Amino acid sequence: MREKARIPFSGDVTIESVMKGYEDYFEIPCLAEKIEYEDYALIAGWSGDISKINRALDVVKSSLKSWPEERYFKKFGGFDNWFATLEKRVMDKDMLHSIVETQIAQLKVEKLPVRNLII
C-alpha cells in the first residue's frame, strides 16, 4: 500500500507530490469528480505559486471543458461562468489560508501531528 500511495505516509510532503497525485488520479477514466478538480486547483492556489496555479487551471479547463454542460455546470450558469468563479477563488490566497485556519479550529485538529508542506 505504501508503494501505491500518491502521497507519502510519512515525512515532509511537497505541494508538487500532492499535485502529481491528483494528476495521476485524473488519468484513471471515469474516476474523478468535479469537486476533486476544484480541490486540485484550490490546493495550487493555496501555494500562491503562479506557475502551479496556471498548471492546475490548465488541467481543470482542458479536462472538464468537454463534460456535458447540462449535467455538470448548468446550475452555475455554464462552464465558463463556473470556471471564472473557480479562477477567482484560486487567486485569493488569503481567503484560502483563512478557510484552512477556520477548518482546523472547527474540526479541533490543531493538536494532531503536523507534517510540513513544502511549497
Residue 1's pLDDT is what?
67
- Segments of the chain with pLDDT less than 50: none
**78 contact partners, CB below 8 Å, separation of at least 6:** 69
Distance set, CA 2 to CA 7, 10, 119 (Å): 9, 10, 23
pTM score above 0.75? yes
**Whether 8 contacts 17, CB under 8 Å:** yes
**Whether 84 contacts 51, CB under 8 Å:** no
Locate 117 and state its grid cell: 508542506
